[in-house]
Chains A and B, each alone.
Chain A
Amino acid sequence: MNRAFNKTSLKHLTGLLQRFQSTLVVAEHNNEKLTPITLNAITAASKLGGEVSCLVAGTNCAKVVEQISKVQGVKKVLVAQHDSYKGAMPEELTPLILATQKQFSFTHICAGASAFGKNLLPRVAAKLDVAPVSDIIEIKSPDTFVRTIYAGNALSTVKCNEPVKIFTVRGTSFEAAPTEGGSAASEDVAASSHAGISEWLEQSLTKSDRPELTSAKVVVSGGRGLKSGDNFKLLYDLADKLNAAVGASRAAVDAGYVPNDMQVGQTGKIVAPELYIAVGISGAIQHLAGMKDSKTIVAINKDPEAPIFQVADYGLVADLFKAVPEMTEALNK
């Protein structure tokens, strides 16, 4: 009887605690569109069980606020529009997040583990004197998270006893939240004073009609075996047939075949598509870290000893310069 009572009251207490949880997701966007990884972060935030708010800070927020208000699971959208948020500099965004935190006392603050999230959240955490948790792949409970270490070769389960849990979310480990069906209210938050110690000058983005690498269903990647940047055309042709994004190994980037934002791996992008086709890639630990959660892996390599064959579902030992055009041709049929 006593035990039963304790159990119910415990359950009640947990429910109560969860109700008191509140998560702030820092939205990533380009003043036009929400960056897709934010939707994965919202799903992760929803798993915590509490209320989810999103902070949209930028020079022009209206369109993004409209998008995010409809995202399922978002209760409230906090908006901070000011010219000082140009380039989303962490020196300017951190005081804003701290002020927002002071006002609403969130139990969790998170963002996608993209270049944006990785740049910003540790700065916020240090200001709050808490240890952040990077690139989580699973939420066990509101204070227990799973993340990979050693280039994905070990899984670490960490319990975070900080008063505020700050973490970044691996986009490929959580579904994207539906972009319809939500009806969040938006509310302006006061812009923080201009820190003025950093200035955004310019960006040069790689333009492409292909799907974005981290969210593509199919990825075709090339390595050193491609031998030149021109030869990457073979992969672009194949990718076009599959509506795939094109990635690369570090070797291909270092050799100058393709720009660095195409790099897949421990220090590049983490992808987990339905189909990953590795062409002329040996399969170093650092590359595998970025793609080994792909559903199906295909390797085309002339070296039968290449480590990539140990993780490939389908391996073809062949000269890529013959096999890739043949495959493109076969897909025409």
Chain B
Amino acid sequence: MSGRVLVGVKRVIDYAVKIRVKPDNSGVVTDGVKHSMNPFCEIAVEEAVKLKEKNLIKEVVAVSCGPQQAQETIRTALAMGADRGIHVEVTGKDYDTLGPLQVSKILAVLAKKEDAQLVILGKQAIDDDCNQTGQMTAALLDWPQGTFASEVSLEGDKVKVVREIDGGLETIMINTPAVVTADLRLNTPRYATLPNIMKAKKKKIANVKPADLGVDLTSRLEVMRVDEPPQRQAGVKVETVDDLVGKLKEAGTI
């Protein structure tokens, strides 16, 4: 296979940030909060770049949907080794209601347009925790899917995918073109070096609007409110193991 890989990348609140719910319960505070590339998307980019380094594919295209800042996320992908970027500009109210269904429609159109052989995405975004976009993109394209991948190997015009499932691992063989979603253990993403960050500034990012792609962003999901989860009561520190076992027995837990 010497085709093109499309990698979807999402800008999310950094994984280490302790998020805050807005006082009016309309969502989570995002202004002035550190954002980064979704960790699973980094793994997806790394895998695509590795395939290119092995000369198994010829081009890696990084795509992100969102406001202006999504370009920073695309730049990061370019610094990791992606060849060019596509920024699908979604702003304002459309961005607030942008979900996996809309993103998968955009990705499906781009995959066709760019004649991609493979779409690699992360298995889930750590903000909405949906775990849907890859599966939905595959469905819209009628391509097979290799989700929660911990190992991907190209074998002629097929892809062998080892998947992380509940009881262990399973291996499947899927035809190309295909959609693959990355699990944590697929690889360890590289750090972008300063020279590569500088080089990435020269790489091209095309700007498109969903309307140019013929994608309607209407959403039929409404977020009614966002709340803090119930807080746990502070516990007690025990001094000894006997004390601990005694307390658990007293509480009837063991």
The answer to whether the Cβ of B172 comes within 8 Å of any Cβ in the partner chain is yes
CB <8 Å contact, B165 and A115: yes
CB <8 Å contact, A119 and B147: yes
CB <8 Å contact, B164 and A115: yes
CB <8 Å contact, A206 and B168: yes
A206 CA to B166 CA, complexed, in Å: 9
CB <8 Å contact, B169 and A204: yes
Q: Which of A151, A266, A316 contacts B244 (CB 8 A)?
A: A316
CB <8 Å contact, A122 and B170: no
Contacts A204-B169, A261-B166: A123 and B138 contacting too (C-beta < 8 A)? Answer: yes
A11 CA to B172 CA, complexed, in Å: 51
A311 CA to B232 CA, complexed, in Å: 6
**Best-surrounded residue of A157, A295, A331 (most CB of chain B within 10 A):** A157
Residues from chain B with a CB closer than 8 A to the CB of A131 are: 99-101, 219-221
Q: Which of A94, A129, A200, A267 contacts B184 (CB 8 A)?
A: A267
CB <8 Å contact, A313 and B229: no
A5 CB to nearest chain B CB (Å): 30
CB <8 Å contact, B185 and A260: yes
CB <8 Å contact, A259 and B172: no
B120 CB to nearest chain A CB (Å): 16
Residue of B nearest to A263 (CB): B184
CB <8 Å contact, B150 and A260: yes
Residues from chain B with a CB closer than 8 A to the CB of A317 are: 237
Mask, B106-140, CB within 8 Å of A = 1, is 00000000000000000110111111110111111
A212 CB to nearest chain B CB (Å): 9
Q: Which residues of A, 297-317, contact B by the 8 Å Cβ criterion?
A: 297-298, 309-317
The answer to whether the Cβ of A101 comes within 8 Å of any Cβ in the partner chain is no
The answer to whether the Cβ of A69 comes within 8 Å of any Cβ in the partner chain is no
Mask, B235-254, CB within 8 Å of A = 1, is 11111111011011001011
The answer to whether the Cβ of B93 comes within 8 Å of any Cβ in the partner chain is no
CB <8 Å contact, B223 and A157: yes
Chain B: how many interface residues by the 8 Å CB criterion? 80
Q: Which of A114, A148, A149, A254 contacts B166 (CB 8 A)?
A: A114
Residues from chain B with a CB closer than 8 A to the CB of A91 are: 144-145
Interface-side segment among B14-22, B53-61, B66-74: B14-22
CB <8 Å contact, B229 and A116: no
Contacts A91-B144, A126-B140: A151 and B169 contacting too (C-beta < 8 A)? Answer: no
The answer to whether the Cβ of B96 comes within 8 Å of any Cβ in the partner chain is no
The answer to whether the Cβ of A33 comes within 8 Å of any Cβ in the partner chain is no
Contacts A131-B220, A200-B172: A296 and B251 contacting too (C-beta < 8 A)? Answer: yes
A261 CA to B173 CA, complexed, in Å: 21
A318 CA to B123 CA, complexed, in Å: 37
The answer to whether the Cβ of B174 comes within 8 Å of any Cβ in the partner chain is yes
Contacts A115-B164, A126-B101, A297-B235: A199 and B131 contacting too (C-beta < 8 A)? Answer: no
Interface-side segment among A45-53, A158-166, A223-231: A158-166
CB <8 Å contact, A149 and B127: yes
Q: Which of A87, A150, A152, A260 contacts B13 (CB 8 A)?
A: A150
Residues from chain B with a CB closer than 8 A to the CB of A116 are: 165-166
CB <8 Å contact, B15 and A197: no
Question: Which residues on A are within 8 Å of B, measured CB to CB?
Answer: 87, 89-91, 94, 114-116, 118-127, 129-135, 144, 147-162, 197-206, 214, 218, 242, 250, 253-254, 259-261, 266-267, 269, 274-275, 285-286, 292, 295-298, 309-318, 323, 326-327, 330-331
- Other A-B contacts than A130-B101, A313-B232, A317-B237, 13 sampled, CB-CB below 8 A, are A123-B145, A125-B101, A125-B132, A126-B140, A129-B101, A131-B219, A157-B224, A254-B185, A260-B150, A275-B254, A292-B232, A314-B247, A316-B244
